[in-house]
Amino acid sequence: MICLDTNYLIRALITGTTEGLAVEQWLEANESLCIPSVAWYKFLCGCTTEEEQLALALLDGGILPFGEIEAQAAAAGFRSLNKPRRLRVDAMIAATAIVARASLATNNRKDFLPFVPHGLILM
């Protein structure tokens, strides 16, 4: 399963982008796509109804919840980084992917690299 970060999903909806082509290849390979609920929230804040429907059609793996286990994993990862405030939401997204045992497709690799030692697999 592959989790899409907000920025990756936004670009995947644009025809001909690297992200759009990657998503097409993953779907052709029967890879399941999902999105952490926190990333979905960020996406919904700036999308149209049409974009929401297009995105939902891609996300056969659904919208992954952020619950107690994900919160514990996010907090542990966040604390280990000396608590940089700008990574709070990224810690939540990373933890959701880690708990789901999914890879994360993101265009913001730099901010997610600190979570790799905690089990995050980046695409």
pLDDT tens digit sequence for 2-35: 999 999 999 999 999 999 999 999 999 999 999 9
Residues sharing a CB contact under 8 Å with residue 39, sequence separation 6 or more, in sequence order: 3, 4, 5, 6, 9, 93
d(C-alpha 93, C-alpha 66), whole Å: 9
- Range 2-122 classified under CATH 3.40.50.1010: yes
Tokens of 81: 């980084």
Output the pLDDT for position 80: 85
Structure confidence at residue 119 as a pLDDT band (50, 70, 90):
very high
End-to-end CA distance of the chain: 11
Residues 41-77 pLDDT 10s:
999 999 999 999 999 999 999 999 999 999 999 988 8
Q: What is the pLDDT of residues 89-101, one digit of tens each?
A: 999 999 999 999 9
- Give the C-alpha distances (Å, rounded to integers) separating 114 from 64, 100, 121: 22, 18, 11
Query: Between β-strands 2-4 and 103-105, what pairing exists: parallel, antiparallel or unpaired?
Result: parallel
Residue 5 DSSP code: P
pLDDT confidence of residue 85: 76
Rounded to two decimals, the pTM is 0.91
Domain ranges of the chain: 2-122
Residue 39 CB: number of other CB atoms within 10 A? 28
